A and B are shown apart, each in its own frame.
Chain A
Amino acid sequence: RLTQVRWSRYNPSYIEPEVSKELYEKPWEELSEEEKEKLELKAVRPVKAAPATVSSSVFSDPMISKFTNMMMKDGNKVLARSLMAQTLEAIKRTQLEKYHKAPEDEKEKIECNPYIIFHQALKNCQPIIGLSSITKGGKTYQVPVPLKDNRKRFLAMKWLITECRENKNRRMLMPEKLSQELLQAFNNEGPIIKKKHVLHKMAEANRAYAHFRWW
């Protein structure tokens, strides 16, 4: 090979930018040792430009951006973003309806913030253990394997999106279906939670092959 495949236009010495304002508002004395070292390193190295999806405002959330990108088709970011906004609005509407109909003592338990619902729903959908196919002695076994954080998040998001795209009525729009799925996942019910439990059961059933894993 003449050139490497994984390369970027930046020099390898460039560091990722840190956008959140809180780190910069802390005074010097409150920083821990590691953070001080990191700051020193940052002062010397050049920094990459912040991408267009990221901003320091309260409304930009890395999880939401990741989910929007996964929902995007053919690079139509405008559509994906509007769908996401409509989903969050739909969640808020349903929760507000429930809130106004509920009796006084249950009003505090209803969660109205769509961002919190989204994060909690994703967390509930994440599998803890996954299966990986390992070929040994001619036969392929499904071996239970611990998953990395990134992989868990990716699987949760992927399941959500495929579920919403396939199992819906012809007339139902994506934001409505997504909001329903998210609320169900928030309450630990629904088809995606079921899928996660099925995966866990398969992993439990294949416990015998766990020693095939070498990493």
Chain B
Amino acid sequence: MAAAAGRVLRLGGRWSAAAPGGPGAQVLRLIYTTTAAQRKNVGASGPEKYTEAFIKKQIEEFNLGKRHLANMMGEDPETFTQEDIDRCIAYLFPSGLFDKQARPMMKHPTEIFPEQRKIQWGEDGRPFHFLFYTGKQSYYSLMHETYEKLLNVQKYQDQLTAQGLPSQKEKRNLAGGRWLTKIELEEMLLEKLSDDDYSRFIQLLEKIVTLPCGDIEEKYIQKFSIEVPVQLQKAVIEPLKYDERGVAFSTGEGTRKTARATAVVHDNGTGKITVNGIDILHYFPVLQDREQLLFPFQFLGRVGKHDMVCTVSGGGRSAQAGAIRLASANALRSFVTEKEVEFMRQAGLLTYDPRVKERKKPGQEGARRKFTWKKR
């Protein structure tokens, strides 16, 4: 039982097993395939590495192993989903490795062994596809198809103008989608593409989209575009709080590099700003930092109207200023209309700045600087 589960287990996507397919060769030879970071299209490079029979056998073993695992964990083998498998494997083989791909995983063989091109010629040696001798048959056939669609659209447009009807242009949601990346296109076509080929294809697609009657071929084009999910997390804006004197105030937090800041912005103020109990003129002697502190107020036009008390710790001079800027911008959201919050976001006041010091790499003197090159 453990042996069955062990055979199906794969240590991430890096090491894959290949059965040479010879008689009685049960030994699993480990081959090093490309890592996720390099993302080379294994399917397109070279002839088949795994036969169909091998894949079928792996699928059967996987299903068998799944049922064994369900039995082991005391769950129902019939309704055992992939999430359950992941959970059980994480329980049985806990791993502290940082790279998720390096941890033990048990997935369906189609996810582990990438798709491959089948053999493209028959027994008599004659290739199946008419564009085989171009070298990139799927790419060129795709270009031919797309160009055909373009010609269709132009013909339809000519027909409309001949009949005198106006060509409707419905605005496509520009912001909602992106084209497939080169790697995704390579995976779709199972062929290696050059950057030039890829850019030509994208130019053709853009040409169809920009034509007024391009919506006819919408379905075909949707195959090559991915909807970017609009997940602008609408952060909850807290309502204003009122302290003992009846003055409205709100709090905000901000971080930058290693500095953490909290700001309390009071209404009906004179524009006084205090940091860690010290006035900003004494705490930030540099003009640039004070400019940054006043940036959100100046942007909203409320320079002399609010008082601010903040606490900040960690980081350096500039990091503390940036942290307080973010904290005050977050606090000001409660005082201001939604439209102005959107303006603040577009001005870059409400985003956390992820830039940190880059690590030093071995073999180099710093993060980017290399050692002096000596000829001998």
CA distance A46 to B229 in the complex (A): 12
User: Is A24 engaged at the interface, CB distance under 8 Å to the other chain?
Assistant: yes
* Partner-contacting stretch, out of B77-85, B107-115, B258-266, B349-357: B349-357
CA distance A24 to B342 in the complex (A): 10
User: Is A49 engaged at the interface, CB distance under 8 Å to the other chain?
Assistant: yes
User: Is A205 engaged at the interface, CB distance under 8 Å to the other chain?
Assistant: no
CA distance A136 to B345 in the complex (A): 52
Indicate whether A43 sits within 8 Å of B174 (C-beta atoms), given known contacts A19-B348, A52-B322, A56-B299.
no
B346 and A47 form a contact (CB under 8 A): yes
Q: How far is the CB of A15 from chain B (nearest CB, A)?
A: 8
Q: How far is the CB of A102 from chain B (nearest CB, A)?
A: 33
CA distance A43 to B342 in the complex (A): 8
User: Is A17 engaged at the interface, CB distance under 8 Å to the other chain?
Assistant: yes
User: Is B236 engaged at the interface, CB distance under 8 Å to the other chain?
Assistant: no
User: Is A81 engaged at the interface, CB distance under 8 Å to the other chain?
Assistant: yes
B356 and A77 form a contact (CB under 8 A): no
Q: Main SS of the interface on chain A?
A: loop
Question: Which residues of the partner chain B approach A78 to less than 8 Å between Cβ atoms?
Answer: 286
Q: Which of B38, B295, B349, B355 contacts A9 (CB 8 A)?
A: B355
CA distance A191 to B105 in the complex (A): 70
Mask: chain A, 43-84; 1 = CB below 8 Å from B; 0 = not = 111111110110111011000000000000000011001000
B345 and A57 form a contact (CB under 8 A): no
Counting contact residues on chain B (CB < 8 A from A), the size range is: 20 to 34
User: Is B92 engaged at the interface, CB distance under 8 Å to the other chain?
Assistant: no
Indicate whether A52 sits within 8 Å of B288 (C-beta atoms), given known contacts A44-B176, A57-B294.
yes
User: Is B37 engaged at the interface, CB distance under 8 Å to the other chain?
Assistant: yes
* Partner-contacting stretch, out of A34-42, A89-97, A105-113, A156-164: A34-42
Q: How far is the CB of A105 from chain B (nearest CB, A)?
A: 39
Chain A residue nearest to B318 in the complex (CB): A52
Indicate whether A47 sits within 8 Å of B348 (C-beta atoms), given known contacts A21-B299, A52-B321.
yes
Q: How far is the CB of B26 from chain A (nearest CB, A)?
A: 35
User: Is A172 engaged at the interface, CB distance under 8 Å to the other chain?
Assistant: no
A17 and B37 form a contact (CB under 8 A): no
B174 and A53 form a contact (CB under 8 A): no
Q: How far is the CB of B108 from chain A (nearest CB, A)?
A: 28
Q: Which of A8, A13, A43, A48 contacts B351 (CB 8 A)?
A: A48
Q: How far is the CB of A41 from chain B (nearest CB, A)?
A: 5
CA distance A10 to B352 in the complex (A): 10
Indicate whether A18 sits within 8 Å of B347 (C-beta atoms), given known contacts A3-B37, A9-B354, A44-B176.
yes
User: Is B287 engaged at the interface, CB distance under 8 Å to the other chain?
Assistant: yes
Indicate whether A17 sits within 8 Å of B292 (C-beta atoms), given known contacts A2-B37, A40-B175.
no
Q: How far is the CB of B161 from chain A (nearest CB, A)?
A: 23
A46 and B232 form a contact (CB under 8 A): yes
CA distance A88 to B37 in the complex (A): 50
User: Is B119 engaged at the interface, CB distance under 8 Å to the other chain?
Assistant: no
Question: Which residues of the partner chain A approach B355 to less than 8 Å between Cβ atoms?
Answer: 8-9
Indicate whether A37 sits within 8 Å of B299 (C-beta atoms), given known contacts A9-B354, A18-B346.
no
Residues of B within 8 A of A (CB): 37-38, 174-176, 228, 230, 232, 286-288, 291-292, 294-295, 298-299, 318, 321-322, 326, 342-343, 345-349, 351-356
Closest 6 CB pairs between A and B? A17-B348, A50-B348, A44-B175, A49-B353, A49-B351, A9-B354
Cross-chain pairs A/B with CB under 8 angstroms, 11 sampled: A3-B37, A17-B351, A19-B347, A24-B343, A41-B174, A43-B175, A49-B352, A49-B353, A52-B322, A55-B292, A57-B291
